Structure 1
Amino acid sequence: MSTDAEKTSTDAGRPGTTLSRRRAITLAGVGVAGVAGVAGGAGALIRGATDHASADAGAPADAVPFHGAHQAGITTPAQDRLHFVAFDVITKDRGRLVAMLQEWTAAAARMTAGRDAGVFGAVGGVPEAPPDDTGEALGLPPSQLTVTVGFGPTLFRDAQGRDRFGIADQRPPALADLPHFAGDALRPEISGGDLCVQACANDPQVAVHAIRNLARIGMGVVSVRWSQLGFGRTSSTSREQATPRNLFGFKDGTANLKAEDAALLREQLWAQPGDGPDWMTGGSYAVTRKIRMQIETWDRSSLAEQEQIVGRTKGSGAPLGRSDEFDEPDLAARADDGQPVIAETSHVRLAHPTLNNGARLLRRGYNFVDGSDGLGRLDAGLFFIAYQRDPRRQFVPIQTQLSRHDAMNEYLRHVSSALFACPPGVTDAGDHWGRALFG
């Protein structure tokens, strides 16, 4: 049979559809093909995807709404699993980049509603064409999947100083490059990135499926720079969630910003009018840090030493000298020997807002174990993610304090770092990520 021979499809939902194999493959790749003759088809696919997603907005309780004033996946109650990826943009064509962002938005709207990434899906298309969904999430519920996108500093001006997409003047002042911190051992190949996608879900396969399909859609426009899997969230973002534990065995993120803190979120989390360019109003800035924990050394430290380093009890999570996890630390309290109950070099003291001009963060990091390091030790630690209104006034001063004075540094190594501007939410099916930025 000729490769151009027409075939009648009998797939469910589209009986009697007649397409040539060549035409089917053209349709399957239309989203980022960049061919003028199929631009209208791309728009139709995108509209179809978002229309279906909107129809599913009132879906089951395990689906998180995609559209809204802010991107989901920030104040959303933190899910149990993470797949985070940073991309490099490999095209110089602004139109292709925007088309990809449009198709990403449509695919994310569908996947977060528990549907396939594409209109035809993993098994509903023409047999001669590649499916527009990879299929590993077939039969799985949405699992509270959220997909959050951000733009890195190098999208606005790359390492060679080039303004590839005519948006250099739209770079927010708060997206200033992070400084070098004491003790940093950063690996460039797993740091930075032009774009990021954070996929969180309660099923790891659902999160991986989301990232895999966005990478598939972006082929030829973006390439994966680095990615990170995470498990066992290390912060709670709602008061309805119990505080989880990190791989040091301590409760982590007790004093985190919470979704219920409306006034604090306006002050500390969301970019406000006048903070920078209008396209970022309602957005937030994400800092990521891959922090290798020297857990074998930590495990040989005494319980008393561990608690002094952290500044909290290991069992209840209460600040030293207090009885309940959520009691405010008494930084002025002294022991009988005159020494501070909470040590001057403890993590709790150095990260406290009173020592950082009131700065707070919304953390939603995850544990990771990436095999072993070849020396008989686990390659394990914390993939730190923190959202904030302005890293220059929040993460940078806090991390400067910690990097210089925190006793915990003996057991930590920061090996990756990145910063992204996460725009406000996609408001409806006619909107898409980056629309206000690219115009």
Structure 2
Amino acid sequence: MSRCPFSTRRGFLGASGGALAAPLLTKAGKAAVPGMTAAPASDMSDGGAIPFFGKHQAGIATPQQTHLVFASFDIIAQSQSDLVRLLQDWTQAAAIMAAGDLVEPADGNASKPPTDSGTVRGLGPGRLTLTFGFGPGLFEKDGKDRYGLAAKRPAALVDLPRFNGDQLEPAYTGGDLCIQACADDSAVAFHAIRQLAHMAAPNDAADGYGGKKAGATLAYNAKPGVATLRWLQTGFLPDYPAGETPRNLFGFKDGTENPGRPDPAEISHGKTIGNGSLGEAVWVGNEGPVWMQGGSYLVVRRIRMALQHWDNTALDFQESIFGRKKVSGGPLTGGGEFTPLNLDATDADGNPVIAENSHVRLGAASTNDGARILRRAYSYNDGLKMIAERWPPWRQGLEYEAGLIFVAFQRDPRTGFIKIFDRMSKFDMMNQFTTHTGSAIFACPSGIAKGGFIGADLFT
């Protein structure tokens, strides 16, 4: 495979105008990128471009965009070198797309399939972020150390336990690699996943990872490939003003108690959330391996919501389930959205104002030994499906296949999501309206420096 430098009108690797930028390099200083160029997707300014390179991966502490495409992959690479090459190629392509450009083949060979579908031509960057994670199967799968990485699996990258009430479907569970694409345009987010999946999957025997020349006639779809899509889920948020907490499909605010909440007046495009509490809750420190320091662990859960059942539930019961007022988001004990919970308050009969089995009490840091996670959830709507509810009134029939793509980042899932959700899965009143149908865990490495690639330190 030829390796050529690329150019970009935004010069995200230091080029200007049409000048060639230096290629991404391995630690040995050898070129480690495919033959790509960056073609302008539009004539728009750089507004809306979130930097791809940095200390942390974008898409974790970045203020939420309005659209999500979450993709999980199975690795089918024949060797570690093939896997590394894919991560190098993905790094370059992701940086190009985050800058708002199209990924184009350097040789411009019209006899080959286009590298880029071109579906976002005419659009800007859309605040696109691409966040990459490594699942347990990268390190060991079916008892096999496929790529010599088993000894480097972090202790915190545990297999998630089966929680009470789980009804997990293989179509939305697991994965060796993941990519979280978020953008303010659904077309931009899906385009990014589509291009990266195309690069990884079998498609062209003419060159590539282990492929062989097929002669004068190109034998497309004959390349063994490196990774294939396992499952994919789209999500959305309403376009709220900056700093406003999103609402889920139950109509309640979701993420009020996130760590590191900034002053809404300080939020701007591309500016990340960040303070000491966020660092303690989200970023891996010296306790983790070098390649994970500055990274975070991602837990994703696909949660179907019984919306028809919920829509027939009295408002006061809805609020009792959450422990918060629906309109304001304030706790039932009084005050505004960010008023601290008063878990000791009782009513005239001596009962807790915020119920013992309310969602907010069971999820509060104060009732979980200080455990905190960064919620970055999105709603989803996949139409209708024949569903049998697991709680009274045990309705069965066509219902909305809709709910929440719960995405949570944390420093250690053992003391984060697992600790919090173990109790919630058993006692939360909200369980009668929700069913967890998908689940996965990934280690998201630290940010990527220019000249490096995703998870580079893992392979040294």
Name the TM-score class by shorter chain.
0.7 to 0.9
SS at 2:126's partner residue?
Answer: coil
How far apart are the structure 2 equivalents of 1:41 and 1:168?
Answer: 27
How far apart are the structure 1 equivalents of 2:104 and 2:147?
Answer: 27
Which of the two has greater helix per residue? 1
C-alpha spacing 1:308/1:100, structure 2 compared with 1 (3 Å): same
Q: Residue 143 of structure 1: CA displacement?
A: 0.4
TM-score (norm 1): 0.84
Letter in structure 1 aligned against 2:416: Q
Letter in structure 1 aligned against 2:365: P
The counterpart of 2:255, out of the listed 253, 256, 261, is: 253
Alignment of 1:24-423 (within 5 A): 43=33, 45=35, 60-120=46-106, 125-158=108-141, 160-219=142-201, 220-232=225-237, 240-257=242-259, 258=261, 259-273=272-286, 275-374=287-386, 375-423=397-445
Runs of 4+ in 1 over 4 A off after TM superposition: none
How far apart are the structure 2 equivalents of 1:207 and 1:261?
Answer: 24
Letter in structure 1 aligned against 2:250: F
> How many residues are paired up?
386
Q: Residue 96 of structure 1: CA displacement?
A: 1.0
How far apart are the structure 2 equivalents of 1:266 and 1:256?
Answer: 12
Q: Residue 188 of structure 1: CA displacement?
A: 2.5
**What are the superposed Cα offsets for residues 221-272 of structure 1, whole Å, 9 maximum, x if unpaired?**
11100000001179x9xx9510111000111111112354421122111000
Q: Residue 190 of structure 1: CA displacement?
A: 1.7
Two-structure CA RMSD over aligned residues (Å) = 2.2
- 5+ residue gaps, structure 1, are 1-12, 14-39, 54-58
Letter in structure 1 aligned against 2:407: I
How far apart are the structure 1 equivalents of 2:171 and 2:242?
Answer: 38
Letter in structure 1 aligned against 2:82: R
The aligned residue for residue 459 of structure 2 is 438
Q: Residue 130 of structure 1: CA displacement?
A: 1.7
Question: What is the aligned-residue identity percentage?
Answer: 48
**Residue 107 of structure 1 contacts residue 118 of structure 1 at CA under 8 Å; is this kept in 2?**
no
Q: Residue 434 of structure 1: CA displacement?
A: 2.0
How far apart are the structure 2 equivalents of 1:386 and 1:243?
Answer: 15
How far apart are the structure 2 equivalents of 1:425 and 1:62?
Answer: 20
**Residue 33 of structure 2 contacts residue 92 of structure 2 at CA under 8 Å; is this kept in 1?**
no
**What are the superposed Cα offsets for residues 137-178 of structure 1, whole Å, 9 maximum, x if unpaired?**
1111100000000000011000x1100000001000000111
**Residue 63 of structure 1 contacts residue 142 of structure 1 at CA under 8 Å; is this kept in 2?**
yes
How far apart are the structure 1 equivalents of 2:138 and 2:431?
Answer: 32
**Residue 233 of structure 1 contacts residue 366 of structure 1 at CA under 8 Å; is this kept in 2?**
no
- 5+ residue gaps, structure 2, are 1-8, 10-29, 202-224, 262-271, 387-396
The aligned residue for residue 17 of structure 1 is none
How far apart are the structure 1 equivalents of 2:172 and 2:378?
Answer: 17
